[in-house]
Amino acid sequence: MNRSTAIHHRVRNVKRSTSFEGYFKVRQYTLEHRTHEGDWTPPIQREVFERGHVAIVLPYDPWQDTVVLVEQFRIGAYAAGLEPWLTEPVAGTIEPGESAEEVAHREAMEEAGCTLTEMESIGTVLMSPGSCTETAAMFCARVDSRELGGIHGLAHEDEDIKARVVPVKEAFAQLESGHISNGYSVIPLQWLALNRARLRTIWS
């Protein structure tokens, strides 16, 4: 079932139309939902941005105590008036028929030239549920970082991605200073801060 049209007993009279369809889609929903006091709202109209679902993976080397992060231009940050070259984990869109784990392995090779071995799920999160259907399945994966780094990405997708091997303490410092500000980066790094000692024990 399409996640955006899932049936829920507290939602009724759903009407959906497409306002825009290009690289992404914008859907317009009209619906009624139960209030906290048990009544029904009048018909409300909302526009929803649909861009698919993604997999995020933070490659971690427990031997060197490093992470592999990528840097690339992000149009959303540019349009928001922020620094547009963001430091992030590896990420990619989940295409029909793919699992999140398959995407994590594929994107790790495409964006950073690395092979993932052990992998742990961090969880699946909604980043902006007030306006967007996108979910992110997040992972942390073991990697040997000694020969990694450099420029990667697919030319036919106009990707220009710089992969860097970063000491974990440096990555945490960038997180604390606000240099790393993308939610898809903050969550995996904070998860690693909580689980780092355990991973170094079981993955080493």
Positions marked active-site: 157
| Three-class SS state of 156 | helix
Distances (CA, A) of 59 to 5, 87, 118, 137, 196: 34, 13, 10, 14, 12
In the chain, alpha helices (H) = 75-79, 100-112, 168-177, 183-203
Scan for tokens 């960038």, then name that residue.
Answer: 174
Rounding to the nearest 10 degrees, give the CA dihedral for residues 163, 167, 168, 174.
-70
Residue 18, Cβ density class (10 Å: 0-12 exposed, 13-18 middle, ≥19 buried):
exposed
